[in-house]
Amino acid sequence: MPSEVLVVEGLNVWLSGKHVVKNVSFKVPDRTVFALMGPSGSGKSTLLRALNRLLDIYEEAEVRGRVLLEGVDIYSPGVDPIWVRRRVGMVFQHPNPFPHLSIYDNVAIGPRLNRMVKSKRELDELVRWALEKAYLWDEVKDRLHMPAAKLSGGQKQRLSIARALALKPRVLLMDEPTANLDPVATEKIEELIAELKREIPIILVTHSPEQAARVADYTAFLYYGELVEVGPTGKIFTQPENPLTERYLLRRI
């Protein structure tokens, strides 16, 4: 079994005084897809944002517990949230490339700001690498300086993934990345997820049990902020231990 890259221990989140993530603990092995599934309002997206300290930008958010990234508690005093977000990449539900920037500049902006490269040649190579990893290079290599706004929805989402990968994160978070895509674009993203997990662990929030079954190695079921059950995906789907999990999988919730 691969070593664990991310370990969550007793994580609690309050938003405006409401307890939305309740004492959640789990471990994410390297080179796996870990799905967080559950109905709307179960705290999946809030939990995901706690894993890269994105909740820090909300005054009404309070986080308690530990999130260990390769042994480093990202909530320890002195740990820079910017460092955390470089190491824990994020892809959102709505594709969010910078529309007026070119395809190239969308991917290049992170490495430039973080001074990851020393030359234009290095940057060119990194942009190409990220676009290839996101299954987008062959479609855009002849129009890298076209505004990102002209891409299709599925291409914009893959560009968002390339932008996240360009920072060489240690973990990639995906918040319902196919929720607004058609079936063809969804299939491409799922194929991409299967390929990317060969190198980095992916934590995937999904409202679809079917998607979790297709792409995830491990699955956690969240219900109203509580972790009901977590384990290998095959076991969760064929031998759930909690009746609530079974009801959700049978679409009775």
pLDDT tens per residue across span 130-173: 999 999 999 999 999 999 999 999 999 999 999 999 999 999 99
pLDDT score at 87: 95
pLDDT score at 253: 73
- With a pLDDT cut of 90, the percent of the chain lying above it is 91
d(CA 187, CA 124): 28
Beta bridge partners of 226: 223
pLDDT score at 252: 78
**HSE-up of residue 54 (Cα within 13 Å, Cβ side):** 18
d(CA 17, CA 118): 46
Identity of the residue numbered 236 = I
**pLDDT tens per residue across span 98-137:** 999 999 999 999 999 988 999 999 999 999 999 999 999 9
- For residue 84, pLDDT over 70 is answered with yes
**pLDDT tens per residue across span 216-235:** 999 999 999 999 999 999 99
The architecture CATH gives domain 4-98+171-249: 3-Layer(aba) Sandwich (3.40)
pLDDT score at 2: 59
CB 205 within 8 A of CB 222: no
Structure-derived torsion over alpha carbons of residues 171, 176, 182, 184, reported in degrees to the nearest 10: 30
Confidence of residue 1 (pLDDT cuts 50, 70, 90): very low
- With a pLDDT cut of 70, the percent of the chain lying above it is 99
pLDDT score at 180: 87
Identity of the residue numbered 242 = N
pTM of the model: 0.93
Kindly state the average pLDDT of the residues 182-195: 93
Residue environment code for 84-100, b if the CB has 16+ CB neighbours within 10 A, otherwise e = bbbbbbbbbbebbbeee
Tell me which residue of 10, 101, 61, 42 sits closest to 244, measured CA to CA: 42
Confidence of residue 198 (pLDDT cuts 50, 70, 90): very high
Q: What does the mean pLDDT of the chain come to? A: 94
Kindly state the average pLDDT of the residues 51-58: 94
């902020």: which residue's tokens? 225
d(CA 95, CA 175): 11
pLDDT score at 72: 96
- For residue 191, pLDDT over 80 is answered with yes
Q: Tell how strand 61-69 and strand 72-73 pair up.
A: antiparallel
d(CA 248, CA 243): 9
